[in-house]
């Protein structure tokens, strides 16, 4: 995607076919969303569409939320998790979730194939930490 916000702290990228949705937290606490998918409620129903890849700055996390996220990344064991997590059986048309963290000079990426079927405890912990951080920014 163009003009990716930097410097990175944590990113969750969900890929389904050609569709991409990204939550990105930068080191300064910037909360960004990006991707190729639009979603809005119209007449009480969700409507989904396509768009050109772009980034939107949503908000800025308070400093204590950034520090809590940094601590959660460290405590999750993410930097020791394998680069890829595969399902136990074939899954057709599944999404994948790509996590990347950059903390204290360490950068690591781990991909969860067949999102929703495959589980990896460090990535589950990261997802919970990301959700807490996003709630703190609202």
Q: Quote the percentage of the chain above a pLDDT of 70.
A: 98
CA-to-CA distance for 12 and 7, rounded, in angstroms?
15
Q: Is the peptide bond before 51 cis (omega within 30 degrees of 0)?
A: no
Q: Which two tokens stand for residue 39?
A: 């979603």
Report pLDDT digits (tens) over 73-119: 999 999 999 999 887 777 777 889 999 999 999 999 999 998 777 88
Map residue 122 onto helix, strand or coil.
helix
Residue ranges of domains in the chain, CATH in brackets = 8-136 (3.30.1560)
CA-to-CA distance for 101 and 75, rounded, in angstroms?
13
What is the pLDDT, as a whole number, of residue 1?
62
Does the predicted model carry a pTM greater than 0.85?
Answer: yes
CA-to-CA distance for 78 and 105, rounded, in angstroms?
14
Residue 42 has pLDDT above 80, yes or no: yes
């Amino acid at each position: 995607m163009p003009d990716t916000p930097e410097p990175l702290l944590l990113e969750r990228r969900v890929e389904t076919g050609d569709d991409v949705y990204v939550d990105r937290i930068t080191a300064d606490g910037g909360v960004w969303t990006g991707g190729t998918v639009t979603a809005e409620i119209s007449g009480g129903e969700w409507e989904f569409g396509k768009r050109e890849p772009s980034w939107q700055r949503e908000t800025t996390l308070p400093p204590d939320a950034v520090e809590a996220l940094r601590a959660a990344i460290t405590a999750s064991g993410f930097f020791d998790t394998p680069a890829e997590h595969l399902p136990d059986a074939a899954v057709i048309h599944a999404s994948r979730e790509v996590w990347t963290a950059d903390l204290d000079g360490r950068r690591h990426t781990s991909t969860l194939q067949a999102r929703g079927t495959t589980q990896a405890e460090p990535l589950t912990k990261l997802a919970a930490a990301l959700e807490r951080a996003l709630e703190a920014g609202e």
